[in-house]
Amino acid sequence: MNRHCPEKIVNINNNHLTLLTEYAGFWRRSVATLVDAIWIISIVLILLHFFDPLTSQQLYQLLDGEGLPINWKSIIINDMLPAILMIGLWYQYAATPGKWLVDCEIVDAHTGNPLSLLQAVVRYLAYLVSAAPLGLGFFWILWDKRKQGWHDKIARTVVIVHDDATIPLEQLMKTTVK
C-alpha cells in the first residue's frame, strides 16, 4: 500500500470526507501513539547502543543529573531520525504502524486526500504546540467535533478511521467488481 494506492476509493466530488466519515478519537489515537513510541524508542536505543554508546563516566554523569555533552550522532539518532520516520510514513502511507494497528489514517481536513509533504512537516512541528501547554493540544481531541488536536488544526489534517463499511455500496462495487 503506497501513496498512490489503486484500491483507494475516489469520490466523484474529489472529497473523501462524508457524513459517514468516522474521526479517530482520543483513546484510539493514544493507543497508536503508544505503539509508535515503543517501536521508535526501540530503534533509537539500538542505534545509540551501536553508534553512540555511553561510557561508564557518561553514565555516572547522567545518573548524577549533570547531563551529557551533545554530539552530532545523538542529534541525528534522537531527533532527526524519528522526525524523518514519522513525516515519511505520514506522507507515503498516511499512517504509522500504530495508526495501522488501530485502522486509522491521516488525511487532508478539507478534501480527505492524502496529506502533502508540507502538511506532514507542519504537523510534526506542530506537535510542539500541542505539547507545550501541558499537552492541552492533544487533549483537545476529546472536545473537538472532528477529533482534531491543535497539531491537526495547524496542519489542516484529520485522523479518520479507515473502515470499508462506511464506503457507499455503489462505490465499493465499482472498485471490486470488474
- Which of the four pLDDT bands, split at 50, 70 and 90, describes residue 8? very low
Burial classification of residue 156, based on how many CB atoms lie within 10 Å of its CB (0-12 exposed, 13-18 middle, 19 or more buried): middle
Query: Which of 10-14, 51-55, 113-117, 168-172 is most confident?
Result: 113-117
Length of the chain: 178
pLDDT digits (tens, 9 = 90+) for 23-80: 999 999 999 999 999 999 999 989 888 887 777 677 667 777 776 667 788 888 888 9
- Which of the four pLDDT bands, split at 50, 70 and 90, describes residue 171? low
- Whether the pLDDT of residue 9 is over 70: the answer is no
Global pTM reads 0.77
Q: What's the mean pLDDT in 120-129? A: 96
- Whether the pLDDT of residue 82 is over 80: the answer is yes
Distance CA 99, CA 167 (A): 19
Query: Would you list the domain boundaries of the chain?
Result: 26-176
Give the chain's radius of gyration (CA, Å): 19
